[in-house]
Structure 1
Amino acid sequence: MSTSEQPPWHIAYPKPVSEAVFLPRSTVLEWFSSEDKLPGKHFALVDLRRNDHEGGTIKTSINLPAQSMHPSIPTLYTLFSSAGISAVVFYCGSSQGRGSRAASWMQDYINEKGDKDMKSFALEGGIKGWVKEGGKLLEMIDGYEEEAWKKFA
């Protein structure tokens, strides 16, 4: 079976119940500059890219390819909950597939736990939207490689 004939990776997992909530890039940028919202203490960013993980990643992001994310949800929840994280922000290239699906799965788990303090989000526009907006957002990318983003211009 060729790659194009293989079923999508995500059908091996349950369909999410929760609808993804998209968090504006401006909100994440505000969090980075707020003393009340610290990365790794109040919010966490999860970069879901695997084969397309190039050109840099938003500062403080954990790289957890979407294909291995679903089985990791209980562990992620335990780590984030223990750290006092109140917002988990998932993203991929556009956040329309992997990002929104992961955010929904995580929110399903948060809901199952009855946790009212933690929320799961998908980053509006994903990393492509982040880079396209430019300006201050580009300063928030570790390992930024302009060449890698030209194909999306």
Structure 2
Amino acid sequence: MTSTLQTASNLLAKATTTEVAAALPKPPSWFAHLPSPVSKPAGLSIDELHAFLEKEKAGQLKGGVDWIVVDVRRTDIEAPNDYFIPSAVNLAAQTFYQTLPALYPMLSKIPLVIFHCSSSAGRGPRCAAWYQDLLDSKKETGSKALVLTGGIKAWAEKYGGEEGALVRL
């Protein structure tokens, strides 16, 4: 028994952090216990969202009424990414599905609900699809889910230097 422990200890001492991490079992994803979404919401470009903000400045559209941005980031809203798109609300992806029944009465009154995460490659599209699935199940046509193409990273890269394009925490 002692020689087995000694051998294991020697192997661990020689292993890199990456090798040790690769050998450990992977924890289940945060969404593993939730249903897989069916919908595939369309994308909205950062330029199209920028146009919404410009129309809001001109009094032609109103954020929170005509459209809303739902930022589903959670722990990754820290420096240097500690900013939001104006008029965005933060609803973390990890609890979005569970709170969707309570969110539905509010969100369904808004025609365009635009979801994003850091790059809109995982959490943003998943939450948008769950929302669209619920709309479809209720035959609700007055609201629709969209995914901000490229997420907050693309938005900040293109519009981060523009006055009023980002709200810092």
Q: TM-score range by the shorter chain?
A: 0.7 to 0.9
Task: Report the equivalent of 1:26.
Answer: 47
Q: Which runs of 4+ in 1 moved over 3 A?
A: 135-138
**Number of residues of Structure 1 aligned to a counterpart in Structure 2:** 141
Match status 1:133 vs 2:158:
yes
- Give the alignment's TM-score, normalised by structure 2: 0.76
- Given that 1:20 and 1:101 are in contact with CA atoms closer than 8 Å, whether structure 2 keeps it comes out as no
- Give the alignment's TM-score, normalised by structure 1: 0.84
Read off the aligned partner of 2:168 and give its amino acid letter.
G
- Given that 1:131 and 1:138 are in contact with CA atoms closer than 8 Å, whether structure 2 keeps it comes out as no
Structure 1: where are the runs of 5+ without partners? 145-153
Read off the aligned partner of 2:69 and give its amino acid letter.
L
Q: Encode CA deviations 1:100-149: one digit per residue, 9 max, x unaligned.
A: 111111100011111111100111100001011136756321117xxxxx
Read off the aligned partner of 1:70 and give its amino acid letter.
Y
Match status 1:43 vs 2:70:
no
The CA RMSD over aligned residues, in Å, is: 2.0
Task: Report the equivalent of 1:5.
Answer: 26
Provide the C-alpha distance between the structure 2 equivalents of 1:50 and 1:138, rounded to a whole number of angstroms: 25
- Given that 1:48 and 1:90 are in contact with CA atoms closer than 8 Å, whether structure 2 keeps it comes out as yes
Structure 2: where are the runs of 5+ without partners? 1-20
Task: Report the equivalent of 2:116.
Answer: 91
Counting aligned pairs with the same residue, the percent is 33
- Residue 138 and residue 102 in structure 1: after superposition, are their counterparts in 2 closer, same or farther (change >3 A)? farther
